[in-house]
């Protein structure tokens, strides 16, 4: 890398005049806030250490704020441009070759990188360099020269629902984010809304949508399904007490015949949600039906499904085959599509719903107007670049579901800060 003067640069062929002096980039971002942040951290540390989940989440945010306050803008820039992309490359490579499973063996005892390289069939200097960066980032622990121990994080990468997100995103999706500034400039900074001509299609020179793109390049489709399973781990579950009133809104008044459809999971992947519902609400009457495309249903069967869960190969643009269910359920589905496509999908659900009986449950983020949570905002940018879609605010949901699709929202149930809400709808 060559060294250049940091005070001037070229943008769009024109000289760019900095808004501030270079000295601003070399001073900590916000030293004045440090004492208060340290005090806040100390005030919740004991509760977090005792297992209080709300305190843990608050402590994580305060710790992030402390790091941001102490860093200089120059350090933050190097972290974004060098350290984090390099870590993503190193982690994805390690997952691909099985490094983290090997590192976790023998109770996570310290292991020599050169010996690991021999077992993995890698050039030792290459693995040494990758592991050195991962240790510098804190993802593994350096115990000696080219010697490392795993962390809970690195050991977890051996679990497909945790590790496969890295290889899937690095291998098949990342270029859509990297090329987005170029795409946005070429499209005059208009919000993308095309299924076949968005940022992903631009980056990968394809007209396939994201799901078709993944399925056309194995094993990324399977890895993506694993990644979605990992995304859902540890998040609030709508069927738990204090979230959505399952008994009052679904069980009471439901048809009791074993042949009556009770819960239909549209685009339900490999059945994670239905299996959780089966376990947590075993007394629910009627049928549980999992619907998705053929390759996903095949994957669900390969993983093994409880005998109570039925499967149907289904494309949600076509007629819904299960009529009059107590509830139709869609988890993280509508955020994959622009409004116009969502209206088409919802029209097929409406056709199958029984007036005064059926409900549509949409399990998605509802982004608050202020103080949005970073997972939701990050996912919104992923939707923007990968699917020309979006995460939606409450106003967006009312616009889509009531004004455009002609449903009636009967309640929005939110666990925490807009993350994992249930939007309950009935026929208008």
Which residues are marked as active site?
Answer: 335, 364, 391
Please tell me the distance from the alpha carbon of residue 344 to that of residue 334, in angstroms, as a whole number.
Answer: 11
Torsion angle in degrees (nearest 10) through CA of 281, 156, 271, 357? 50
385-406: burial string, b at 16+ Cβ within 10 Å, e else: bbbbbbbbbbeebeebbeeebe
Are 272 and 300 contacting, i.e. CB atoms less than 8 angstroms apart? no
3-state helix, strand, coil in the chain (%, to 5): 50, 15, 30
- Contacts of 226-229 with CB under 8 Å at 24 or more apart are 226/160, 226/161, 226/164, 226/165, 226/168, 227/161, 227/164, 227/165, 227/168, 227/169, 228/269, 228/332, 229/161, 229/269, 229/270, 229/272
Helix (H) or strand (E) holding 69: helix 53-70
Helix (H) or strand (E) holding 211: helix 210-215
The two three-digit tokens of residue 183, written as one number: 């795409």
Residue carrying structure tokens 């939606």: 392
Are 267 and 291 contacting, i.e. CB atoms less than 8 angstroms apart? yes
CB under 8 Å to 304, separation ≥6 — which residues? none
Q: Taking Cα atoms as reference points, which of 213, 170, 192, 201 lies closest to residue 337?
A: 192
Helix (H) or strand (E) holding 10: strand 9-11
245-279: burial string, b at 16+ Cβ within 10 Å, e else: ebeebbeeebbeeeeebbbbbbbbbbbbbbbebbe
């Amino acid at each position: 890398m060559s060294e250049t003067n940091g005070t001037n640069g070229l943008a769009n062929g024109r000289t760019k005049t900095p808004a501030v002096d270079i000295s601003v980039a070399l001073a900590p971002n916000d030293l004045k806030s440090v004492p208060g942040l340290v005090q806040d951290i100390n005030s919740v540390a004991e509760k977090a250490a005792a297992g209080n989940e709300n305190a843990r989440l608050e402590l994580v945010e305060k710790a992030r704020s402390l790091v941001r306050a102490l860093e200089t803008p120059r350090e933050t820039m190097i972290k974004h441009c060098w350290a984090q992309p390099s870590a993503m490359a190193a982690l994805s490579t390690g997952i691909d070759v099985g490094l983290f499973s090997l590192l976790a063996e023998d109770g996570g005892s310290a292991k020599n990188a050169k010996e690991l390289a021999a077992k993995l069939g890698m050039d030792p200097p290459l693995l040494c360099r990758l592991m050195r960066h991962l240790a510098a980032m804190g993802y593994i622990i350096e115990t000696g020269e080219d010697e490392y121990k795993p962390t809970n994080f690195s050991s977890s990468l051996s679990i497909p629902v945790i590790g496969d997100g890295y290889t899937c995103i690095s291998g098949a999706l990342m270029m859509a984010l990297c090329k987005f500034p170029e795409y946005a400039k070429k499209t005059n900074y208009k919000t993308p809304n095309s299924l076949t001509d968005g940022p992903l299609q631009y980056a990968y020179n394809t007209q396939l949508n994201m799901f078709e793109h993944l399925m056309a390049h194995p094993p990324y489709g399977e890895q993506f399904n694993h990644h979605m399973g990992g995304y859902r781990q540890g998040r609030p579950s709508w069927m738990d007490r204090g979230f959505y009133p399952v008994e009052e809104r679904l069980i009471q008044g439901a048809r009791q015949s074993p042949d009556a459809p009770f819960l239909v999971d549209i685009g339900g992947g490999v059945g994670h949600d239905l299996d959780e519902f089966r376990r947590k609400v075993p007394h629910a009457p009627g049928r549980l039906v999992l619907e998705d495309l053929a390759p996903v249903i095949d994957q669900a069967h390969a993983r093994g499904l409880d005998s109570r869960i039925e499967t149907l190969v289904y494309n949600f643009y076509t007629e819904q085959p299960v009529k009059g269910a107590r509830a139709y359920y869609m988890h993280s589905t509508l955020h994959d599509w622009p409004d116009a496509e969502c209206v088409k999908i919802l029209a097929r659900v409406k056709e199958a719903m029984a007036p005064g009986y059926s409900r549509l449950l949409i399990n998605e983020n509802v982004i608050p107007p202020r103080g949005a949570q970073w997972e939701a905002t990050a996912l919104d940018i992923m939707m923007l670049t990968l699917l020309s879609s979006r995460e939606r605010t409450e106003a967006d949901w009312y616009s889509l579901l009531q004004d455009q699709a002609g449903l009636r929202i009967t309640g929005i149930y939110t666990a925490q800060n807009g993350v994992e809400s249930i939007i309950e709808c009935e026929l208008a």
